[in-house]
Amino acid sequence: MANTPENPVDDRRAVRVEIDRVSKSYNNQRVLDDVSFTIEPGEIFVIMGPSGAGKSTLMRAIVNLEKVDEGEIRINGLDAFKQQTHKLMHTAIVFQAGGLFNSLTVEENLGFYPREHRLYDRKTINEKVAYTLRILNLEGCADKMPSQLSGGMRKRVAIARSLIIEPRLLLFDEPTSELDPVSAANITEVIGTLREEYDMTSIVVSHDRELAASIGERVALMGSGKVVMLDTPQKLAESEDPEVTAFLKPSINCNNPRFRQNLAC
Amino acid sequence: MQAIKNFFGFAGECVLVFFRSLYYLPTLPWQFTRLMDYCFNIGYKTMPMVSIMAFFLGAVLVMQTGDSLEDFAGANLYLGRISGLGMSRELAPLISALLLAGRVGSSVTAEIASMKVYHEIDALKTMNVPAERILVMPRLVAIILMMPIVVGVAIFVGWYGGAMAAAHVPFIAQPEEVYWANLKHVVSFHDIIDGQIKGMIFGVSVILIACTQGLNTKGGPREIGMSVTSAVVASMVIILFLDFVLTRVLM
């Protein structure tokens, strides 16, 4: 509980996230196995790992979309599940597919949270929406429906919608998946620069090694529900651990006759 | 055994969704636009189909009973009574609810199920906007407001269809005045209220089943389709079961 703010709820600054011996199983299969680490306030923390490593489950547990079987997730010292921290502290998540409301325009998507919670008057909401659209270069698509946007634009709109609530904790689920390299680089840049504008902690779940290397301050590499290694991206890249290199530097088996024909192995 | 367990599990969830929705009733004034939108979709858009069905059902009811009563001298005078009571107490609420299950129930389930599958419901949860507050409660209020109008229209159009058949089908050829006089003599305000109570309970059941089924959907597009089918089938079975119970209670 060190460095926990005096008033963990009303304090408007970035939050500390503590994952404490968390385990979770589905149908007797352990997807999270005694996972522990702490994410410092304001940090951009990347969780990497192969498919099925438990990254997305952990992220969903942080925002209370999943209940863990054992252990505790604490946000600013408060139990995320028991004290429903996502309701107390501004927490937002950018889903892999965006999670945009398909029946609403981009502008309505962005204004949805403040309108539903009656946070501001109509004029202030419109100003905040316009400002957020501007910082993410989305001014031209305010009246478009999500179905009219490209994959990259949808991700940016999803990020913009999360920023409207001025989050203290923002989570990204595979933000660069299904995007072309240019759009992926663009989204990576957006995530990296958001901290200049907003005081928040960012957790990014991704397969993307370039994203982790360019914006991650620390990276947790997960495998089979456990944390294999937690360090800076540089240390991770230099690691000789076979489990780490298997993920970061995968190699094609050249003895496979199907590949041998096409690759100059 | 598993099917019975599933049935009671689902019924319990429907009850939970209902009470959770009631909890958000005070937020209704802020959702006026949404409520009007749901009223338009549930009520106004259902009206033409309900009217067509009610008209022909009323006409067929009069033709069938007119043909059967022909063997009994003077029994045709009771056509107004049969059509009047049959439509108001039974057929109008029943056909309105069955049509609602097919037209509105299916679209509500499909909408909420796809919102669930494509993480829109998860997004709502993280925004601290419960699905019951914006997707279920306003729909329940809309159905309670619109069902009396839909059932009322079905009753009157059904009666009118009966009057048309009585007057213009050659083997009945009963003057409209006789039909209406007999109907007015027998049908009381209480009969119409019985029909309205039935219609409202059927409507609430349809919306609850549709929303609960949508919120329980997991998987992908195939599961959305399966959810829609399950919701419509469950709604129709429940409507018929409730019809039996309510008829006994209201008699």
Strands A29-39 and A17-26: antiparallel
Show the 3-state SS of chain A: CCCCCCCCCCCCCCCCEEEEEEEEEECCEEEEEEEEEEECCCCEEEEECCCCCCHHHHHHHHCCCCCCCEEEEEECCEECCCCCHHHHCCEEEEECCECCCCCCCHHHHHHHHHHHCCCCCHHHHHHHHHHHHHHCCCHHHCCCCHHHCCHHHHHHHHHHHHHHCCCCEEEEECCCCCCCHHHHHHHHHHHHHHHHHCCCEEEEEECCHHHHHHHCCEEEEEECCEEEEEECHHHHHHCCCHHHHHHHCCCCCCCCHHHHHHCCC
Q: Contact B30/A112, CB-based, under 8 Å?
A: no
Asked whether residue B206 is assigned to any structural domain, the reply reads yes
Looking at the 3D structure of chain B, how many domains does it have? Answer: 1
Instruction: Tell me the nearest-neighbour CA distance from A127 into chain B, angstroms.
Output: 20
User: Would you state the structure tokens that stand for residue B192, as one six-digit string?
Assistant: 């119409």
Q: How confident is the model at residue A178 (pLDDT cuts 50, 70, 90)?
A: confident
Residue B75 forms part of a structural domain: yes
Which of the residue ranges A16-20, A174-178, B125-129 would you say has the lowest mean pLDDT? A174-178
- Judge whether B12 lies within some domain: no
pLDDT range class, residue A2, cuts 50, 70, 90? very low
Q: Under an 8 Å CB criterion, which residues of A touch B?
A: 60, 63-65, 86-87, 91-93, 95-103, 112-113, 116-118, 165
Best interface-test mutation with B: which of A60, A93, A108 has the largest number of B CBs within 10 A?
A93
Q: Is residue B15 included in any domain, yes or no?
A: no
Residue A29 forms beta bridges with which residues? A26
- Would you say residue A28 has pLDDT above 90? no
Distance between B236 CA and the closest CA of chain A, angstroms? 28
Interface residues on B facing A, Cβ-Cβ cutoff 8 A: 30, 111, 114-115, 118-120, 122-123, 125-129, 134
Q: CB B11: neighbour CB atoms within 10 A?
A: 15
Facing residues of A26 across strands?
A: A29
Per-residue pLDDT tens for A142-171?
Answer: 899 999 998 888 988 999 999 888 888 999
CB spacing of B127 vs A99 below 8 angstroms: no
Tell me, yes or no, whether B18 lies in a domain. Answer: no
Query: Does residue B22 belong to any structural domain of this protein?
Result: no
Q: Which pLDDT band, with edges at 50, 70 and 90, does A185 fall under? A: confident
| Domains with residue ranges and CATH for chain A | 17-90+167-262 (3.40.50.300)
C-beta atoms of B128 and A87 within 8 A: yes
Tokens of A211: 């994203």
Domain that holds residue B188: 43-250
- B167 in a domain, yes or no? yes
Q: What is the pLDDT along chain B (251 residues), one digit of tens a residue?
A: 888 888 889 999 999 999 999 999 999 998 999 999 999 999 889 999 999 999 999 999 999 998 888 777 677 778 888 999 999 999 999 999 999 999 999 999 999 999 999 999 999 998 889 999 999 999 999 999 999 999 999 999 999 999 999 999 888 888 889 999 999 999 999 999 999 999 999 999 999 999 999 999 998 899 999 999 999 999 999 999 999 999 999 87
Does B79 map to a domain? yes
User: Distance (Å, rounded) from C-alpha A202 to C-alpha A47?
Assistant: 11
Pick the closest to residue A73 from A39, A42, A48 (CA basis): A39
Does A91 sit within 8 Å of B126, measured CB to CB? Answer: yes
Least CA distance to A170: which residue of chain B? B126
**How far apart, in whole angstroms, are the C-alpha atoms of residue A195 and residue A24?**
31
State ipTM.
Answer: 0.82
- Mean pLDDT value across residues A206-225: 88
Whole-number Å distance between alpha carbons of A130 and A138: 9
* Helix, strand or coil, per DSSP, at residue B239: helix
